[in-house]
Amino acid sequence: MSDLSKGSQSSNSFTLAEIASHIGGEVSGDAQHKISSMGTLASADASQLSFLSNPKYTSELKTSKAGAVILAQAQADEYKGNAIIHSNPYVGFALASQLLDSTPSQSAGISVNASISQSASIGKNVSIEAGAVIGKNVVIGDGCQIGAGVYIGENARLGNDCIIRANVTIYHGVVLGNEVSVHSGTVIGADGFGYANNKGTWIKIPQTGAVQIGDGTEVGANSCIDRGALDDTQIGKNCIIDNMVQIGHNCIIGDHSCICGSTGIAGSVTIGKHVIIAGGVGINGHITICDNVQVTGFSMVTKNITESGVYSSGMPAVPTREWQKNTVKLRSIDKLYERVKILEQQQSSSEA
Residues carrying an active site annotation: 249
C-alpha separations of 345 from 157, 285, 334, 336, 342 in Å: 68, 41, 17, 14, 5
Distance, first Cα to last Cα, the chain: 76
CA atoms within 13 Å, Cβ hemisphere of 159: 15
Q: Which among 13, 22, 60, 43 has a CA at the least distance from the CA of 52?
A: 60
Amino acid at site 182: V
Q: Tell me if 139 sits within 8 A of 145, measured CB to CB.
A: no
Cβ within 8 Å of residue 349, ≥6 positions away:
none
DSSP one-letter string for 88-110: SHHHHHHHHHHHT-----PPSEE
Q: Which among 164, 173, 180 has a CA at the least distance from the CA of 233?
A: 173
* Angle (nearest 5°) at CA 273 between 270 and 279: 75
